[in-house]
A and B are shown apart, each in its own frame.
Chain A
Amino acid sequence: NAGVTQTPKFQVLKTGQSMTLQCAQDMNHNSMYWYRQDPGMGLRLIYYSASEGTTDKGEVPNGYNVSRLNKREFSLRLESAAPSQTSVYFCASSPTGARGYTFGSGTRLTVV
């Protein structure tokens, strides 16, 4: 009953460093998503993958790249971290986009 697993849970980066946030789901869902959550801003979509082999930009894609490695895994990469990318990042999956998502527990990222 793992659902959606995100790693790491916490990370501190220096400005300019790169890192990859990992996400894996075991529910055989087709669609996967990356959101960021900032105080007062709700959840904003960074990138999503409607199905294996496809990725699309969301509302705030600048500074990020994604890879849908296979049906289970969807990673988010920060090539050159900036303080504005300090946030909590959530991965989610869904059978289809119209149905409810299952979220991971989040990665809290601080860029100094």
Chain B
Amino acid sequence: GQQLNQSPQSMFIQEGEDVSMNCTSSSIFNTWLWYKQDPGEGPVLLIALYKAGELTSNGRLTAQFGITRKDSFLNISASIPSDVGIYFCAGNQGAQKLVFGQGTRLTINP
């Protein structure tokens, strides 16, 4: 099935650093979403993008819907300990379901 290639797979950073991760596909997507999963919990929606070129912020998080509609990125500025977790990108191609990336595991050293 269709897959999203998410990178990096893991990140180890210092508190206060900025973080950048991205998601790419060989196919066009109509919607891009970014989720965060805390340990032992289900993913929670962070940002949803519905138009090519759209740039959306949610606090320290900023995400963009790539102009080609085949990619998206998520930036986190000035990371804090509670940013630790797994971040997933997801995309929709007009069907009734989302396709998810493999996830980026973020670890922060205080």
A-B contact count (CB 8 A): 56
Whether A96 is near chain B, meaning CB under 8 Å from some CB there, is: yes
Whether B60 is near chain A, meaning CB under 8 Å from some CB there, is: no
Whether A74 is near chain B, meaning CB under 8 Å from some CB there, is: no
Contact B1 A105 (CB under 8 A): no
By secondary structure, the B interface counts as loop
Whether A53 is near chain B, meaning CB under 8 Å from some CB there, is: no
Interface size on B, residues (CB 8 A): 24
Min CB–CB distance A4 → chain B (angstroms): 8
Instruction: Give the residue name and chain of the A residue nearest to B94 (CB).
Output: A98
Instruction: Find chain B residues with CB under 8 A from A4 CB.
Output: 42
- Interface residues, chain B, CB within 8 Å of chain A? 1, 6, 9, 30-31, 33, 40-45, 48, 88, 92, 94-98, 100-103
